[in-house]
């Protein structure tokens, strides 16, 4: 499902270098990526998502060699075939829960949300525990609720791969547990491949596999 081969990446400025000889994540597998701050966890996720492009090597996701795609095609790939959840939630504050969850439809020139799609999105919002808050502006939600909205948005198009960058980084411990449990439950139900970047080692037991990016840096050092 996800295959990184002989990846080498460095930012235009600075000495940071990430080298990934090989990384494979199977369909339906849940992978936690850990490592110290600045070790390249988010960079690895961005390489998988096609937000960044490696200087050397290939990144293939769901059968598509993302690293070989042009920028518009990579955007299209992210929008239609990946689910993305970020640490800062990345919601649009001027929209309500409904519009934030339906954002992939609004952003896509190819998709048009039908009444059924809206009903499905509303059910999803209820499933993540936000029943009754469908038309509430996201600025009026708590941090945990905002992250649930982001999670619902990531799952809306039923993507084969869900990438989460520190999804519980801004949540208190009890909310963290709730959100993580919800996340794992949803991806297991749907057979979604999940890659989660986290620095919280308490979360790791829930995942099929744990990857420490330090090993890539060691290889590349």
Q: Quick check: 27 and 193 in contact, CB under 8 A?
A: yes
- Show the beta-strand stretches assigned E in the chain: 2-10, 17-25, 30-34, 56-61, 64-65, 82-85, 161-165, 193-197, 209-212
Site for other proteins in 36-65 (CB under 8 A): 49, 51
Among residues 40, 158, 60, the alpha carbon closest in space to that of 105 is found at: 158
Pick between residue 72 and residue 205 the one whose CB is nearest to other proteins.
Answer: 72
Q: Cβ 95 to other proteins, closest distance in Å?
A: 6
Q: Does 80 bind other proteins (CB under 8 A)?
A: yes
Pick between residue 76 and residue 208 the one whose CB is nearest to other proteins.
Answer: 76
Residue of the chain from 4, 25, 82, 171 that contacts other proteins (CB under 8 A)? 82
Q: Does 106 bind other proteins (CB under 8 A)?
A: yes
Tally of CB atoms within 10 A around 123: 12
Pick between residue 94 and residue 123 the one whose CB is nearest to other proteins.
Answer: 94
Where does this chain touch other proteins (CB under 8 A) — which range of 82-90, 114-122, 188-196, 204-212? Answer: 82-90
Q: Does 86 bind other proteins (CB under 8 A)?
A: yes
What is the distance between the alpha carbons of residues 187 and 183, in angstroms, rounded to a whole number? 6
Residue of the chain from 2, 18, 40, 78 that contacts other proteins (CB under 8 A)? 78
Q: Cβ 51 to other proteins, closest distance in Å?
A: 6
Q: Quick check: 100 and 91 in contact, CB under 8 A?
A: yes
Pick between residue 35 and residue 154 the one whose CB is nearest to other proteins.
Answer: 154
Where does this chain touch other proteins (CB under 8 A) — which range of 58-66, 107-115, 167-175, 192-200? Answer: 107-115
Q: Does 99 bind other proteins (CB under 8 A)?
A: yes
Among residues 138, 70, 73, 80, the alpha carbon closest in space to that of 108 is found at: 80
Among residues 1, 19, 43, 4, the alpha carbon closest in space to that of 197 is found at: 43
Q: Does 12 bind other proteins (CB under 8 A)?
A: no
Pick between residue 76 and residue 212 the one whose CB is nearest to other proteins.
Answer: 76
List Cα–Cα distances, 159 to 69, 83, 84, 151, 155, in angstroms: 19, 6, 9, 12, 6
Q: Does 92 bind other proteins (CB under 8 A)?
A: yes
What is the distance between the alpha carbons of residues 170 and 148, in angstroms, rounded to a whole number? 12
Binding site for other proteins (CB under 8 A): 49, 51, 72, 74-80, 82, 84, 86, 90-95, 99, 103-107, 109, 112
């Amino acid at each position: 499902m996800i295959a990184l081969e002989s990846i080498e990446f460095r930012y235009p400025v600075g000495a940071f270098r990430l080298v990934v000889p090989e990384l494979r994540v199977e369909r339906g597998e849940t992978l936690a990526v850990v490592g110290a701050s600045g070790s390249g966890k988010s960079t690895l996720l961005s390489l998988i998502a096609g937000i960044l492009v490696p200087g050397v090597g290939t990144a293939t996701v769901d059968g598509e060699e993302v690293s070989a795609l042009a920028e518009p095609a990579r955007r299209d790939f992210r929008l239609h075939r990946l689910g993305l959840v970020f640490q800062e939630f990345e919601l649009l504050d001027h929209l309500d829960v409904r519009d934030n969850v339906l954002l992939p439809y609004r952003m896509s020139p190819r998709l048009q949300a039908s009444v059924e799609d809206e009903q499905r999105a509303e059910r999803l919002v209820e499933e993540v525990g936000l029943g009754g808050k469908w038309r509430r502006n996201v600025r009026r939600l708590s941090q945990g609720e905002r992250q649930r909205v982001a999670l619902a948005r990531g799952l809306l198009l039923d993507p084969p791969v869900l990438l989460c960058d520190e999804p519980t980084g801004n949540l208190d411990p009890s909310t963290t547990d709730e959100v993580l449990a919800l996340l794992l439950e949803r991806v297991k139900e749907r057979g979604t491949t999940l890659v989660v970047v986290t620095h919280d080692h308490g979360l790791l037991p829930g995942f099929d596999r744990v990857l420490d990016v330090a090993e890539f840096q060691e290889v590349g050092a």
